[in-house]
């Protein structure tokens, strides 16, 4: 039987400042993204930002006080969270076209 080591990145620690979200990976890499990528964390208090837990063995981070999840893959590939448009389910700011499930 052969067992291969996983090359998937895993987070071991996270820091959130007034400007950025920084993830420290188990392989020594450090990823930083602008805090503005997470509108929930941008609006959170420092206490809420400090209350996080790892999910999926370090594949992501969850902030229970603001119901935010960020994945290491999303941070690596540059996928910011979009603020929902009030009153339009499934619609993101700046999106074009019709709302989902709307009949023409």
Domains belonging to the chain, first-starting first, are 11-77 (3.30.2020.40)
Global pTM value: 0.74
Residue 23 three-state SS = strand
Q: How confident is the model at residue 60 (pLDDT cuts 50, 70, 90)?
A: very high
Q: What are 12-57's pLDDT values in tens digits? A: 999 999 999 999 999 999 999 999 999 999 999 999 999 999 999 9
DSSP assignment string, 53-99 = EEEGGGTEEEETTTTEEEEHHHHHHT-PPPPPPTTSTT--TT--SPP
**Buried/exposed code over 21-37 (b: 16+ C-beta within 10 A; e: otherwise):** bbbebeeeeebebebeb
- Say which DSSP state 84 is in: P
What is the C-alpha separation between 94 and 88, in angstroms, rounded?
Answer: 13
Q: Are 11 and 25 in contact (CB under 8 A)?
A: yes
């Amino acid at each position: 039987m052969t067992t291969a080591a996983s090359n998937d990145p895993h987070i071991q620690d996270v820091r959130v400042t007034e400007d950025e979200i920084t993830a420290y990976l188990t392989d020594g890499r450090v990823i930083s993204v602008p805090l503005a990528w997470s509108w929930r964390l941008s609006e959170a208090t420092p206490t809420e930002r400090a209350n996080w837990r790892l999910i999926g063995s370090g594949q992501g981070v969850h902030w229970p006080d603001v119901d935010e999840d960020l994945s290491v893959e999303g941070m690596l590939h540059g996928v910011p969270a979009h603020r929902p448009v009030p009153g339009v389910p499934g619609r993101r700011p700046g999106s074009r076209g019709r709302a989902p499930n709307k009949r023409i």
